[in-house]
Structure formats: C-alpha cells, structure tokens
Amino acid sequence: MATGSGAPVVSTRDDIERAHLVDPSDRTWSIARAEVPGDLSDVARRFWIPVWDVPDGEIALQRVLQYPVCLIVISSAYTRFYGVVSGLSQTALSGRGWAVGLMLQPAAGHLLTRAPVRRMTDRFVDLTTLDREVIDGVGLTAVVRELMSPDPGSEAAQARARAAVETQLRRLLPVDEEGLLVNAIIEDVETSPELLRVDELCARFDVSERTLQRLLHKRTGLGPKWLIRRRRLQEAADRLRDADAELAGIAADLGYADQSHFTRDFRKATGLTPGEFAARFR
C-alpha cells in the first residue's frame, strides 16, 4: 500500500464498506448484501438488507459517506426514495427491525422521478408518491413487507423480496444514452484514484466543464468537484482501518496539500478526525 510515494491508492475493501463508517464494536445489527442481475446493471448496483436488534433505551447510529446515487429503502415503518446526501448520512437504529435497501446507478434517479435529481439532494420522498406508471411503490411495499416480516433474517425471504424489487426496476429499461454516459463518468471517478481535478475528467470524456456540471446536476444533484472529494474521503476511510496507516502518507496519496488540510476535510465530512476514526480499529 502506498504511503506518500505518489503510487495509485489500492482499495482493500469493497466499496460499500469504504462508504459505511462502521463502528467495529457495534454487534447490534447484521447486513446481507447482494448484486443485481446482469440485465439491471445499468439501473442498479446492489442490495443491502440490514437486520437489527438494539437493546431497549439504546440506539445504533449508522454513518455513511454516500455514493453519488439515489436509494430505495423499504422497511416495516417506511418506504422511501432518497436523493444523494451531500454531507454525512446518519440513521439511528433502535428496537428490532429490518430494511430492504437498493443502491441505484447514477442514471436511475432521473428515470424514476422524471425530473432533475438536484431537486432531491439531501431529501427523500415516500416511494409511493412517485409516478405509479414508473414504479408501483404501493404494491411493491406491500409485497416486500409480506415477504420480510415473518423472518427478516431468512435468506429465502430476502431473495424473494429482491426479486420483487427487480421486477419493478425492469420498467426503467433500456437506459437512455445520457444516463449511460453519466454512469460511465461516475464509474471513472470512483475507480481512478489518480484523478484529482475536474479538467482531467472533462478531458477524459471530451466535454466542457459547463456541460459536465449540467449533466451531473441533472442526473445526480451534485457537481464534479464533490464527486472527486467524496471519493477521496471514502478512500481515506478505507485506508484508516489499517493498523499501519500513516496520516501524512494518506494525505499525500489522495492529493491533499498537507496533513492538516486532510484532517479538516475528513472531520468536516465525518465528525471525526482521521485519528479518532482510525482508533476504532486498533
């Protein structure tokens, strides 16, 4: 692993774990993850299905540096369509519960809302309020709750719930050319640790910065500088889990001018200094 040499940063964990600022001492919940079928890869990334049992009077606070995608979450208490969270996403788990969550592709938010996704930044709406011709939120919620409620930890129940969601998603196919382009742009940002500047991203896709800004605000709700900064912070959270992590080396590899700038950026985004976050895993 690089430590200030300028070599590309190599991720040591899958991208969900990089984004989820999990407290390793928290044993009150478990999470199942599953990929979507290949024919849906242009509209969705993966499912996550948490099941929790938190002692009375306590909460399990989940913190996530969200990816630039919208989410669908169905639980026994609510059913929601989430826009991208520009800051730190926090969910307080209490009591017993479950949820079926779906991480969409960048293209999908606009397809579901039929409107610029910037209107959904840092907010959510009830899934049932979306156009029923696009997605039947009422029917889907009823089916998922019927399948999951008897035994949310059942792998068979989870598989049937995922299949119900997948059936609804196929209404969005095929994805439009603009949607495929924004998927490709964001995949490039997320998989290119050497990419540190917006003009470099524009050059890769032969578009002007203004065109890129318009496209990303329409399809994700946030701009290219945010994309690059968020990827750097997720990568930092990944590397800080390692016992031999060196803050100066991480800061240099991720393109920060100095360690203090990295520390300020990380603390602003997560509420923790890099040292405080790393201490959880020592």
Q: Which of 137-141, 214-218, 265-269 has the lowest mean pLDDT?
A: 265-269
pTM: 0.87
Task: Tell whether the model's pLDDT for residue 97 goes beyond 70.
Answer: yes
pLDDT at 76: 95
109-122 residue pLDDT tens: 999 999 999 999 99
pLDDT of residue 12: 35
Residue 6 has pLDDT above 50, yes or no: no
Q: Which pLDDT score, from 0 to 100, does residue 10 have?
A: 34
The mean of the pLDDT values for the chain is 89
pLDDT at 83 over 60: yes
Nearest to residue 44, comparing CAs of 166, 158, 144, 130?
A: 166
DSSP string, 218-231: HHTSS-HHHHHHHH
* pLDDT score at 65: 87
Domain boundaries, the chain: 15-172, 177-279
Question: Sign (positive/negative) of CA torsion 172, 176, 178, 183?
Answer: positive
Q: Which residue has the higher pLDDT, 140 or 267?
A: 140
Q: In the predicted model, is pLDDT for residue 1 greater than 90?
A: no
Question: Which CATH superfamily includes the segment(s) 177-279?
Answer: Homeodomain-like (1.10.10.60)
4, pLDDT greater than 50 = no
Q: Is the pLDDT of residue 175 over 90?
A: yes
Given its phi and psi angles, is residue 221 left (phi above 0), alpha (psi -120 to 50 degrees) or beta? left
Beta bridge partners of 109: none
Task: State yes or no: pLDDT of 3 exceeds 80.
Answer: no
Tens-place pLDDT, residues 28-73: 778 899 999 999 999 999 999 999 999 999 888 888 888 999 999 9
For every residue of the chain, DSSP letters joined together read --SSS-PPP---S-HHHHHB---TT--SEEEEEEEPPGGGTTTEEEEEEEEEEPPTT--EEEEE---SS-EEEEESS-EEEE---SS-EEEEE-SEEEEEEEEEPTTHHHHHHSS-GGGGTT-EEEGGGS-TTT--HHHHHHHHHHHHSS-TT-HHHHHHHHHHHHHHHGGGPSPPHHHHHHHHHHHHHHH-TT---HHHHHHHHT--HHHHHHHHHHHTSS-HHHHHHHHHHHHHHHHTTSTT--HHHHHHHTT-SSHHHHHHHHHHHHSS-HHHHHHTT-
What is the structure's pLDDT at 16? 52
